[in-house]
């Protein structure tokens, strides 16, 4: 009996022999359907399925192409889930363990990154800008696990966010003024709250005279600004050398004449280097995981202290001098992402202590 695997194999052989890919797929699918009809087998092969297997990411490709899908994750070969509007849904699949490994290898091929026993987890960007995260045994209990975080190309500006109900018009005006005045903005929120989308929308407000340098673990931030340089981290080689950390990238960015420094996510000792960079007069944009605007600032203080060699008084005074706004994002129970608070750090009554002054809050 003909199978999709056998069709794919014949297509690949035909292409290696010099045949056009599209013609090879059409020819082999027609032949397979003719044989199936002659054998009275209730199977109808689709060209799109074969194309996904040959050039795309197999059974996951339709989910990647579906604009309503926000995230895809695979717990094992029989458990594929997606998120739509913040809600989980299980997708029936027929995916073998070998198929899953082949898909991961194909996804990583263009990124130059690897996953193996010595490096059992990896982050990488897919060609469409989606972020891939993979973990394999023995870190996972038994099966390979992967997550694909997709990013919507439909949201590019603050006006787009207003149209979607993510941000109120009066809040938009506050943010536009902050970006126009060269202020530093910290965007906070939980996972999937819309932090990166907000950063991208804020970057759309920058004029042509700006030079943007972005540093990230993996490429996620998208901007159409003509003068933009993006850098991402790199893991160590098999010999344990060549690692490029986020902290190193922040330092390198300062040598690239940025007028706006963007850090995809602050979560480690790079926070101290970022704060020092901002204190040199370069406005910035960055995201941080936190439950509120005030928690975001407290977390930034803690991260800088964990980097070592600085006092709380130094950190808090530097934050007061450099961080102008904190924008807090939240995803509601219905999957709607909203900006619920815009605040700025201020000095409290205690020496070296911080408080937050709300500039705007949702009802």
For 17-33, what is each residue's pLDDT tens digit?
Answer: 777 766 777 887 788 77
Domain ranges across the chain: 1-47, 56-150, 158-361
The DSSP code for 350 is: S
Q: Which phi and psi (to 5°) does residue 297 adopt?
A: -70, -40
Q: Supply the CATH classification number for the domain 158-361.
A: 3.40.50.300
Q: How far is CA 144 from the centre of its chain?
A: 20
Q: Please give the pLDDT value at position 199.
A: 96
Selection from 6-10, 40-44, 137-141 with the highest mean pLDDT: 137-141
Mean pLDDT of the residues in the chain: 87
Residue 37: CB atoms within 10 Å: 12
| Per-residue tokens: 98 | 């070998």
Whole-angstrom Cα distance, residue 307 to residue 362? 35
Whole-angstrom Cα distance, residue 15 to residue 33? 20
Given a cut of 60, whether residue 38 has pLDDT beyond it is no
Kindly report, residue by residue over 303-354, the tens digit of the pLDDT: 999 988 889 999 999 999 999 999 999 999 888 899 999 999 999 866 567 9
Q: Please give the pLDDT value at position 225.
A: 94
Confidence of residue 45 (pLDDT cuts 50, 70, 90): low
Q: Please give the pLDDT value at position 26.
A: 81
Topology, domain 56-150: Beta-Lactamase (3.30.450)
Residue 256: CB atoms within 10 Å: 11
Given a cut of 80, whether residue 56 has pLDDT beyond it is no
């Amino acid at each position: 009996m003909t199978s999709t695997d056998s069709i794919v194999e014949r297509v690949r052989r035909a292409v290696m022999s010099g045949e056009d890919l599209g013609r090879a797929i059409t020819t082999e699918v027609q032949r397979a359907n003719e044989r199936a009809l002659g054998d009275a087998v209730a199977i109808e092969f689709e060209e799109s399925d074969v194309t996904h297997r040959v050039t795309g990411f197999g059974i996951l490709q339709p989910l990647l192409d579906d604009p309503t899908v926000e995230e895809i994750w695979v717990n094992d070969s029989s458990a594929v889930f997606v998120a739509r509007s913040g809600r989980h849904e299980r997708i029936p699949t027929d995916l073998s363990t070998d198929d899953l490994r082949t898909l991961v290898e194909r996804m990583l091929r263009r990124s130059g990154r690897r996953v193996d026993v010595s490096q059992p987890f990896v982050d990488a960007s897919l060609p469409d800008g989606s972020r891939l995260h993979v973990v394999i045994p023995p870190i996972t209990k038994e099966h390979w696990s992967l997550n694909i975080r997709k990013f919507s190309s439909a949201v590019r500006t603050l006006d787009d966010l207003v149209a979607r109900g993510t941000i109120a018009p009066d809040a938009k005006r506050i943010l536009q003024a902050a970006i126009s005045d060269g202020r530093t903005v910290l965007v906070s929120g939980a996972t999937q709250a819309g932090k990166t989308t907000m950063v991208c929308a804020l970057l759309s407000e920058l004029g042509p005279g700006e030079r943007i340098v972005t540093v990230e673990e993996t490429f996620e931030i998208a901007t159409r600004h003509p003068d933009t340089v993006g850098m991402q981290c790199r893991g160590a080689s098999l010999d344990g050398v060549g690692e490029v950390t986020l902290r190193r990238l922040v330092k390198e960015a300062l040598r690239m004449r940025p007028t706006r420094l963007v850090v995809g996510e602050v979560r480690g000792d790079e926070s101290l280097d970022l704060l020092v960079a901002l204190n040199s007069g370069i406005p910035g944009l960055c995201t941080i995981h936190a439950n509120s605007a005030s928690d975001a600032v407290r977390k930034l203080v803690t991260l800088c202290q964990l980097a070592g060699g600085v006092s709380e008084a130094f950190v808090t005074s530097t934050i007061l001098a450099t961080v102008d706004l904190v924008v807090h994002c939240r995803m509601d129970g219905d999957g709607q992402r909203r900006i619920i608070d815009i605040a700025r750090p201020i000095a409290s009554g205690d020496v070296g202590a911080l408080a937050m002054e709300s500039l705007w809050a949702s009802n």
